[in-house]
């Protein structure tokens, strides 16, 4: 769901039960009117919270949009008996911010990650009867990743190890979404070919 990131002025404080009702209506009926009300109230506050944590304005917009999209998708998980709506939403924002901070500190590829090891199922070109052992797979993968261009290697790392969406990568790098998709596709093709060949 696309959202307008030009936030409205913060409205007066809303009672917790009204925000709970918005979340209930979103969860049960995918009520867009309720979501607009929830968004208009909480988005400016989430952005302000992010700015207080030192996030720049553009990134705060991106993260806020991501947080509010998670609120839309996960509304059914909200439990009014366990927390207030504001607590639940700020927890989502906090967790997203922690994920981003961790990813910025850890840009190293984990070569043992299953996402980069070929599937050994019968529908792949990988022949189970001639499987190489785990250490050889890791060596092959390291070699294949080392052959990627810097741009392709960074896209692989951000997609699989930092769990960023292609849209988020494009926004952060200020490049077209199509460029991100193209680099990822070329990188994966190279890795598959290298692993299968070796």
pLDDT in tens, 28-48: 999 999 999 999 999 999 999
Would you say 65 and 3 are in contact if contact means Cβ atoms under 8 Å apart? yes
Is the domain of 21 the same as that of 62? Answer: yes
Buried b (16+ CB within 10 A) or exposed e, 45-74: bbbebbeeeebeeebbbbbbbbbbebbbee
Domain endpoint, select from 67, 83, 105: 105
Which pLDDT belongs to residue 66?
92
Q: For every residue of 109-126, which 3-state class applies, written as one string?
A: CCCCCHHHCCCCCCCCCC
C-alpha 30/C-alpha 33 separation (Å) is 9
**Do residues 96 and 124 share a domain?**
no
In this structure, the answer to whether residues 83 and 123 fall within a common structural domain is no
Read off the tokens for 158. 């951000």
CATH, residue 177: 1.10.10.10
* Per-residue model confidence (pLDDT) at position 9: 41
> In which residue ranges of the chain is pLDDT below 70?
1-16, 104-139, 161, 196, 198
How many domains are there within the chain?
2
Query: Terminus-to-terminus CA distance in the chain, angstroms?
Result: 43
Q: What's the pTM value of the predicted model, to 2 decimals?
A: 0.48
Residue 73 lies inside a defined structural domain of this protein: yes
pLDDT given for residue 32 in this prediction:
92
Domain boundary among 48, 74, 105: 105
Q: Which domain holds residue 41?
A: 16-105
DSSP the chain: -----SPPPPPSPPPHHHHHHHHHHHHHH--HHHHHHHHHHHHHHHHHHHHHTT--HHHHHHHHHHHHHHHHHHGGG--TTT--HHHHHHHHHHHHHHHHHHHHH-----TT-GGGSPP-STTSS--GGGPPPHHHHHHHHHHHHHTS-HHHHHHHIIIIIS---HHHHHHHHT--HHHHHHHHHHHHHHHHHHHHH-
Q: Of 94, 104, 99, give the one whose Cα is nearest residue 49.
A: 94
pLDDT at site 8: 43
Query: Does the residue 131 lie in any domain?
Result: yes
- The last residue of one of the domains, among 76, 105, 134, is 105
């Amino acid at each position: 769901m696309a959202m307008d990131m030009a936030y409205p002025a913060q409205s007066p404080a809303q009672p917790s039960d009204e925000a709970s009702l918005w979340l209930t209506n979103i969860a049960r009926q995918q009520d867009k009117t309720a979501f607009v009300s929830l968004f208009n109230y909480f988005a400016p506050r989430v952005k302000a919270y992010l700015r207080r944590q030192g996030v720049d304005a553009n990134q705060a917009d991106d993260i806020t949009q991501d947080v509010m999209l998670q609120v839309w998708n996960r509304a059914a998980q909200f439990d009014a008996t366990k927390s207030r709506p504001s607590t639940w939403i700020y927890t989502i924002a906090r967790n997203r911010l922690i994920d981003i901070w961790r990813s910025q500190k850890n840009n190293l590829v984990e070569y043992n990650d299953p996402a980069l090891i070929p599937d050994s199922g019968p529908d792949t070109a990988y022949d189970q009867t001639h499987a190489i052992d785990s250490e050889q797979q890791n060596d092959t993968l390291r070699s294949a990743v080392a052959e990627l261009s810097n741009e392709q290697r960074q896209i692989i790392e951000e997609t699989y190890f930092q769990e960023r969406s292609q849209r988020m990568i494009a926004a952060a790098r200020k490049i077209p979404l199509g460029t991100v998709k193209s680099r990822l596709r070329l990188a994966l093709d190279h890795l598959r070919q290298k692993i299968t060949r070796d």
